Amino acid sequence: MKLKYAWMCAVLGAGLMVGCGESSEQEEPTVIETDAGDEDVEQIGEVDDRDALAELPCGEEMLADWPLQEEVSDASVEITEEGGVFTATLDASAGGTQGAASNPFVYLNLTTGEKAELNDVEAALSEGWHLGFKRFIIRSNSGDSGPGGVLVTKVSNTTFEEVDSVPGNPEAYRTDDTYDASCTPELDPIGTPMTAFNYLNLDNPSGSQSWYSYGGGISPVAGDVYVVRDPEAGVAYKLEITGWSDGEFELRWAELN
Amino acid sequence: MQRYAQQRIVAAALAAAALVVGVSEAQALRPTNPGHPQSYGVEARYLDSTGGHVRVWYVTEGEHRSPRVAEDGETPEIADMVAEVGDDVFEAMATHGFRLPLVDSELYPTSADDGGDGRFDIYLINFEAGDGQFVPEYCTSESPERCAGYAMLDHAFMPLYYPSRELAVKIVVSHEIFHAVQAAYRADWPGWASEGSASWYEELVYPEQDDFERLTGYYFEDSARSLNDRARGPSDGFSYGAGIFFYFLDVVFGPEMIVAVAERFATSETIEDALQAELLDNFSEADDAVELFAIYNLFTGELAGEGEGYPQAERFAGVEVVELPGDGAFNWEQNVDAFSARFARWEVTVPMTLTPVEAEGWPAARLALIRGGQQENDGYESLEVGDTVEVGPEDSPVYLVASQGLEEDAVISAQGRVLREDPQVPSNDGRDEEGGGCSQAGSGSTSGVVWALLGLCLMGRRVRRKR
């Protein structure tokens, strides 16, 4: 331990060193017995994985382009379950149109039926979520977005009830392949980095190249039901976006057998 | 209201053959040229400042028309104001020892539009967003490049975002001319240093404005972020908030420190290299300066003390401070990224110890401990990994400042434990030993000792600001 007037003396210069002692070293305190039981130790703060993320391919670009935030979203997510069908109202409106970039995504775990309490950097390294939401953006835990290996496809002109099996064509599934080999992001027509929910909707008649119709506002495309697979966990879910208003999603999903 | 970032429209790198030896060629245009994206579209007039430093261009009709033009064609009030403030800023720049902007007429090829003479040209235009921009046009071909250019300012400065039109002109003119000054040293200032130092300069020459304080809010709301972090997203104001660091250098050393950093940057690899070199001339380690900077930042906002730290430190927003338990064991662990700091407040109610430890896989951040209580003490203590220091209720509140220098990211890991003394051996709190300490140290209010010492650093410095 050093008492820091030593450097202050350096700053002040010789002419102002009056009263400063020669030595700055102190003997360590003696006779210490502490209550070091781990169970009694309160953890303050945490060490995050921002640096680990930055070392991943295109990690720096991800941090900057979304941009990823180090705070966990405090947004409201209300989820109910009845007969195996989860219904959620998920508030991804934080920041509004102008301030969304400085707010984190809201992460959802379809298996637990709960909001995943992760910040964006943690989520990029976590398998504990399936979908992430911000304003009108939906990311999936795959490709450049995360290590979860989630696959997403879409069944059109159907109903939630009619979808009762997992589409078998592997080429129908998409992932969040946001960056090319040089880490340049693929962008949708309004400049948002592309996710699986863009690639599945490149032919959206409204030109949005996303899950929504754009024309006098944003609205889900009627008859679109998504299938979200988590191959590692061996589960799949059908998911319908039933409503969207100013960043607040209405969702329902159920496991497919 | 956010000013445009300094943008290089110069195409110097693409120059095929310079028209003038030693000067890079560019396809630069000014608003007086019909090809400029924000062309006046009508004949422009100009006003030369009485001090001879600036020429203010304006129009009296069309979309860029400056308001308050009399029917007889009298010069708009805003142009008069800009000309006067421009002269003042140039004079101040010279007084502080900064280089002046490169003179366009001396650098430009003869075919280029230099505004007609060597004065610094300022064009008043109708900004749709932002309120000012310095545009470098022609650069020297030496490495690093130095550039001359012109500035565009809002044509009206409607006082929607500023307290008054006059103050708005002072803020934006001083900011944009400082960008021109930067380009006289070299053209490639990184965003944090470019915008940070330009924001600080507003405060240096016009301390009555509060734009600087507003901009520092971007730093204080995100003080765990590296000060020299790159911009994230299009509306990231953090680089403007970096002005607090240049203000810190100004408060401790005077504006000559920023002059020295700029001069050194003109011949250094990076601004960080220049900064570290200058700091090493004044501190035993450059990281000492970052630590002191962090301590200054801690005692702002609600923690500001009378006559301590920054002048009128309460005008700054304050940093995020975590609370540590004062009567039970804890581990405090957080990232401390390069050129950033973390802060903790510790209301100690029973005798405790604090021990910095290594965090696996990470360099250890610096840790400063400040006893804010009433007991006599010896300034703030800089703890190293393995040190154990005792604190008690008499020291409360204790403040911990974890900081990290410019080189690499680190982690602070510190263990707080309740002290139970072995009855066989007398205790020693380690703070009343001989062998060190400034005799000025004494009791006082929160962090009084620190400021008593730092006050010596500040002796003789004026307190510019009166609100």
A132 and A252 both lie in a single domain? yes
Q: Is the pLDDT of residue B418 over 60?
A: yes
* Domain boundaries of chain B, sorted by first residue: 1-178, 321-422+438-458
Q: Tell the burial category of B394 from Cβ atoms under 10 Å away from its Cβ (0-12, 13-18, 19+).
A: middle
Over residues B45-60, mean pLDDT: 96
Whether A96 maps to a domain, the answer reads: yes
The 10s digit of each residue's pLDDT in A124-170 is 999 999 999 999 999 999 999 999 999 999 999 999 999 999 999 99
The whole-number average pLDDT for the span B56-67 is 90
Q: Are residues A128 and A83 in the same domain?
A: yes
Give the per-residue pLDDT at B235. Answer: 60
More confident position, B157 or B378: B157
Quick check: A42 and B440 CB within 8 A?
A: no
* Nearest C-alpha in B relative to A49: B335
Contacts of residue B92, Cβ cutoff 8 Å, sequence gap at least 6: B174, B204, B205
Contact residues on chain A for B385, CB-CB shorter than 8 A: none
Report, as an integer, the average pLDDT of B237-242: 92
Query: Tens-digit pLDDT profile for chain A (257 aa)?
Result: 554 433 333 343 323 332 333 333 444 444 454 555 555 899 998 887 777 777 788 888 888 888 899 889 999 999 999 999 999 999 999 888 777 888 999 999 999 999 999 999 999 999 999 999 999 999 999 999 999 999 999 999 999 999 999 999 999 999 999 999 888 999 988 888 999 999 999 999 988 999 999 877 889 999 999 999 999 999 999 999 999 999 999 999 999 98
Q: With contacts defined as CB-CB under 8 Å, which chain A residues touch B324?
A: 44
Total number of domains in chain A: 2
The reply to whether A83 and A133 lie within a common domain is yes
- Diameter over CA atoms, chain A: 86
Tell if the CB–CB gap between B334 and A46 is shorter than 8 Å.
yes
Q: Taking a C-beta distance cutoff of 8 angstroms, is the pair B62, B98 a contact?
A: no
Asked if residue B16 has pLDDT above 60, the reply is no
Which H or E run contains B424? none
Tell me: pLDDT of B338 over 70: yes
Flag whether A143 is in a domain: yes
Tokens representing B462? 């004026």
pLDDT band for position B36 (cuts 50, 70, 90): confident
How many other C-beta atoms can be found within 10 angstroms of the C-beta atom of residue A49?
Answer: 18
pLDDT given for residue A60 in this prediction? 83
Q: Give residue A99's pLDDT.
A: 78
| DSSP line for A87-125 | EEEEE--TTHHHHGGGS--EEEETTTTEEE--BHHHHTT
ipTM reported for the complex, 2 dp = 0.71
Residues A26 and A124 in one domain: no
Same domain, residue pair A76 and A124: yes
Q: Are residues A125 and A209 in the same domain?
A: yes
| Residues B64 and B44 sit within 8 Å (Cβ to Cβ) | no
Kindly list the distances between the CA atom of residue B213 and the CA atoms of B192, B193, B220, in Å, as whole numbers in the listed order.
16, 17, 10
Q: Are residues A33 and A149 in the same domain?
A: no
Rounded Cα–Cα distance for residues B180 and B136 (Å): 8
Task: Assess if residue A103 is contained within a domain.
Answer: yes
Answer yes or no: is A42 within a domain: no
Query: Residue B70 — pLDDT band, cuts 50, 70, 90?
Result: low
pLDDT at B130: 74
Mutate to test the interface with A, among B415, B453, B454 (most CBs of A within 10 A): B453
The residue that leads in pLDDT, A211 or B162, is: A211
The verdict on a CB contact (< 8 Å) between A3 and B379 is yes
A127 lies in the same domain as A23: no
- Whole-number average pLDDT of chain B: 82
Gap from B186 CA to chain A (nearest CA, Å): 26
Of the candidates B430, B441, B457, the beta carbon closest to that of A27 is on B430
B438 vs A20: CB contact, 8 Å cut-off?
A: yes
Q: The domain containing residue A29 runs over which residues?
A: 5-37
The confidence score (pLDDT) of residue A35 equals 53
- Out of A12, A19, A31, whose CB is closest to B422? A31
Residues in chain B: 467
A124 assigned to some structural domain: yes
> B11 pLDDT exceeds 70?
no
User: Do the domain assignments include residue A196?
Assistant: yes
- Are both A31 and A110 inside the same structural domain? no
* B399, B447 Cβ separation under 8 angstroms: yes
So what's the pLDDT on residue B146? Answer: 95
pLDDT at B434 over 50: no
| Residue A45 is assigned to a structural domain of this protein | no
Whether A11 and A137 map to the same domain: the answer is: no
Best B232, B380, B389, B418 residue to mutate vs chain A (most A CBs within 10 Å): B232
* Co-location of A31 and A62 in the same domain: no
Q: Which CATH number fits domain B321-422+438-458: 1.10.3430, 2.60.120, 2.160.20, 2.30.29?
A: 2.60.120
A64 vs B contacts (CB less than 8 Å): 230, 232-233
Report the percentage of chain B scoring pLDDT > 70. 78
CB spacing of B381 vs A18 below 8 angstroms: no
Same domain, A226 and A201: yes
Confirm whether A24 is domain-assigned. Answer: yes
Give A53 or B429, the one with higher predicted confidence. A53
